[in-house]
Chain A
Amino acid sequence: MFKILKYTFYDIIRSRWSLAYFFFYLILGFVLLFLNNDISKALITLMNIVLVLTPLIGTIFGVMYYYSSIDFTKLLLAQPIKRSKIFLGQYLGVVSSLTLSLVFGLGIPFIIYGLSVSSAIFDFILLLISASFLNLIFVALAYIISLYNENKIKGFGYSILIWLFLAIIYDGLFLILLVFFNEYPLDKLSLLAITLNPIDLSRILILLKLDISALLGYTGAMFKQFFGTSQGVFYSSLILIIWTLIPLSVIISTSNKKDF
């Protein structure tokens, strides 16, 4: 698996797209720090961008890589190596190169700005960890969709729809639900709704850590009240891990049964 991971990583990290992704975050980091003039404030703006953008890029890269390497995958499938190792290797290769672009792209400007002596360093690290989880989750979702769809256009379409749903539509539906049923006790329901969306979950995880109650919103406040800060961080991290493991097991079982 590590052999495939290594070469997939080499292949992607040298691509123009990866470089563009790195420079995008680099410039974004510098611009936000310059405009906000404060690390903690820049972090909040950054969070709002990263939590929406990382899933999108992960989805697109995952689908793109799967379809562009399908012929090579067939060659790998004819080698004496387990199917699951091929797909896990490729998947982790995509995720690690994306995560590297993210960590270096954002890390460089923040370190230059004096992150290491600031108290916000842990918040920053938490942001990177959540974004890495989103990479893991959304590349996996993209891989599952690609495995089920031979047609590239359909694969792309469904992946973008999933991103659109989880990043934007979900919150809207959730809000409508809250308004509509506001006479009923909704605390348990909203906790459940949050756990079912990794993007919302990451947002709450970071906001709990940042401890900005004004930004927590209804569900965040509920989360805090229900779990308290430290337990809330633990609980949301746990759910993120489950969110990663379930799609991964689907990738393994689907690829074991699939004809190429």
Chain B
Amino acid sequence: MIEINGIYKRFGKLKVLEDLDLELKSPGVFAIIGPNASGKTTLIKAILGIVIPDAGEIKINQRSVLNEFKYRNQLTYLPQIANFPPNLTVGELISLVKELRQEVSYEDKLISIFNINEHINKKIGNLSGGTIQKVNLILTFMFDSDLIILDEPTNGLDPISMIHLEKIISEEKKKGKTILITTHVMRIVERFSDEIIFLLEGKVFFKGKLSALRKKTDEKDLEFAIAKLMDKRVCLKS
């Protein structure tokens, strides 16, 4: 499905991705985790084509996606920061994204799930942060795409929306989608992820199942296991 070969990215002097290889063959939920500035968001953005790698290759379904744009029809993206044009209404924003993609969409179902029917004709600038985050989720999940990329999806959600989000993720997972999630919420990682991709200093430091991670680190608790993964690096280096 996704094949990444030796991508490099630096911003000025800062090396963010360094010879990163990653291959996701079968569908499932992949949690991308790692400390701050380990390159999680840059990796996601490189797959989306928002950041252009300095070198290397990214293929989705055996086709190179660098400098392409049509492939984005097969994927949908939830940005970390939901900041939309303040003078458009929610309905207009949804129409805009629909017009850009021109494919079947299922926004009505999501609008009722997240209970934002009453806000549909309101300007986005007049909505609360939580409601805007719900709109963000609707924009992401209203299309039936094979690849779903979620950048910190739990940011600013109230508990009820969180439950809905988890329900949606598990439904999409059942449908056989490939879902990439970056998150700091370990509960999400534990509950959904088939595999963990642990990034460190711009490389994939660990990739494998949760059980493998636990075995490798000899820790049952995921948070401790990850902490140990980072610690091991310290041991290796010193």
Interface residues of A (CB under 8 A from B): 3-4, 7-8, 10-12, 14-15, 69, 71-72, 74-83, 257, 259-260
Which single residue of chain A is at the shortest CB-CB distance from B48?
Answer: A78
Cα–Cα, bound, A148→B92 (Å):
30
CB <8 Å contact, B100 and A11: no
CB <8 Å contact, B88 and A10: yes
Within the complex, what minimum Cβ distance (angstroms) separates A232 from chain B?
A: 42
For A14, A76, A79, A83, the residue with the greatest tally of chain B CB atoms inside 10 Å of its CB is A79
CB <8 Å contact, A259 and B52: yes
Cα–Cα, bound, A4→B100 (Å):
9
A77: chain B residues at CB < 8 Å are 48-50
| Overall SS of chain A's interface | helix
| Overall SS of chain B's interface | mixed
Within the complex, what minimum Cβ distance (angstroms) separates A78 from chain B?
A: 4
CB <8 Å contact, B139 and A11: no
CB <8 Å contact, B69 and A80: yes
CB <8 Å contact, B69 and A82: yes
A15: chain B residues at CB < 8 Å are 86-87
CB <8 Å contact, A75 and B139: yes
Kindly state whether residue B117 has any CB partner on chain A within 8 Å. no
Q: Please choose the segment from B72-80, B176-184, B195-203 that sits at the chain A interface, where 4 or more of its residues have CB less than 8 A away.
A: B72-80
Cα–Cα, bound, A78→B139 (Å):
12
Interface residues of B (CB under 8 A from A): 9, 11, 45, 48-52, 69-73, 75, 77, 79, 81-88, 92-93, 96-97, 99-101, 123, 139, 149
Q: How many residue pairs, one in A and one in B, have C-beta atoms under 8 Å apart?
A: 76
Cα–Cα, bound, A79→B81 (Å):
16
Cα–Cα, bound, A150→B121 (Å):
33
Within the complex, what minimum Cβ distance (angstroms) separates A17 from chain B?
A: 10
B85: chain A residues at CB < 8 Å are 7-8, 11, 69, 72
Give the contacting residue for A79; candidates B83, B84, B93, B100; CB below 8 A.
Answer: B100
A82: chain B residues at CB < 8 Å are 69
Which single residue of chain B is at the shortest CB-CB distance from A83?
Answer: B69
Cα–Cα, bound, A81→B45 (Å):
16
CB <8 Å contact, A78 and B77: yes
CB <8 Å contact, A10 and B69: no
CB <8 Å contact, B92 and A81: no
CB <8 Å contact, A71 and B11: no
A7-B96, A71-B79, A260-B50 are contacts. A79–B88 as well, Cβ < 8 Å? no
Cα–Cα, bound, A71→B132 (Å):
13
Cα–Cα, bound, A11→B83 (Å):
13
New A-B contacts (13) at CB < 8 Å, excluding given A74-B79, A79-B100: A3-B100, A7-B96, A8-B85, A11-B85, A14-B87, A71-B79, A75-B79, A77-B49, A79-B101, A80-B70, A80-B72, A257-B52, A259-B52
A12-B87, A71-B83, A260-B45 are contacts. A76–B100 as well, Cβ < 8 Å? yes
Within the complex, what minimum Cβ distance (angstroms) separates B138 from chain A?
A: 13
Within the complex, what minimum Cβ distance (angstroms) separates A100 from chain B?
A: 15
B52: chain A residues at CB < 8 Å are 257, 259
Cα–Cα, bound, A81→B79 (Å):
17
Nearest 5 CB-CB pairs, A to B?
A71-B83, A11-B85, A14-B87, A78-B77, A80-B72
A76: chain B residues at CB < 8 Å are 100
Which single residue of chain B is at the shortest CB-CB distance from A81?
Answer: B100
CB <8 Å contact, B81 and A71: yes
Within the complex, what minimum Cβ distance (angstroms) separates A249 from chain B?
A: 18
CB <8 Å contact, B101 and A72: no
B50: chain A residues at CB < 8 Å are 74, 77-78, 259-260
A4: chain B residues at CB < 8 Å are 96, 100
Cα–Cα, bound, A11→B123 (Å):
10
A71: chain B residues at CB < 8 Å are 79, 81-83
Which single residue of chain A is at the shortest CB-CB distance from B46?
Answer: A259
Within the complex, what minimum Cβ distance (angstroms) separates A89 from chain B?
A: 10
B96: chain A residues at CB < 8 Å are 3-4, 7
CB <8 Å contact, B86 and A11: yes
A71-B79, A74-B79, A260-B45 are contacts. A79–B97 as well, Cβ < 8 Å? yes
